[in-house]
Chain A
């Protein structure tokens, strides 16, 4: 596993899962919250990645 994207997806998946089970009860509410968190992780990571693109790091 050396792809940045794969590592980010695995990280987001596991962290979202733990946060969901800490914060919510009830299957439906958990499913909704998990998708919201997971989606936010992925979208914000990609957006921040693109914003950093011009910087010469």
Chain B
């Protein structure tokens, strides 16, 4: 990487869809978020950045242990509040606002860590983790706009549709009630543009992180991009074509499984010849 600033800039571009979704959804959820929980969790990557380097790897494990202890304290309190009344102070409020706070806090951690990551693979991982975390919130907002529903009604609708979708998948083998398949998201156009920018930024990021061996690597990467784009588009076309049969998930499943088989078959470790001493 030529400079740290360039790397962070590319990460910022790659993370632009995630940041947009975060900024767009947060005001809608603000009233339904437990801000204390959000801040307590979201501050972790900043604490990790500020503590001396030798302790930074312990921040998340320590936070996880504290969280587990709090969960145990909450369970004890809920089982027998009269006996464990003193645990009330440590019990986590089991409310929707807490879960949304955890969701947003995790999305913040993924975005923050992703922006600072130096490796392309790590950055891609964090990007899709952050996007995946906020997809549910995005669908709630889409439902609010689509049917002019209140927040709680939209939440119930999306939740019910998702449960129905899972039920259908496991009982009948296909999905009919996909919440966002028919909803119009208000930031659809912006997201489309940002997804394209993100893809370009990811490619540049991989290319520039190759420490001076770019020329040779670019050829191989171009093949992968070309082949990947064609295969991805073809599979999406198949997914779109077969959507009326409601077997689109099976089509994608076969595609992904076939690719995994191809990867595992070509990834066999070949044995080296035993070297002889001259």
Bound pair: A and B? no
User: Chain B: residues with CB nearer than 8 A to chain A?
Assistant: none
User: Chain A: residues with CB nearer than 8 A to chain B?
Assistant: none
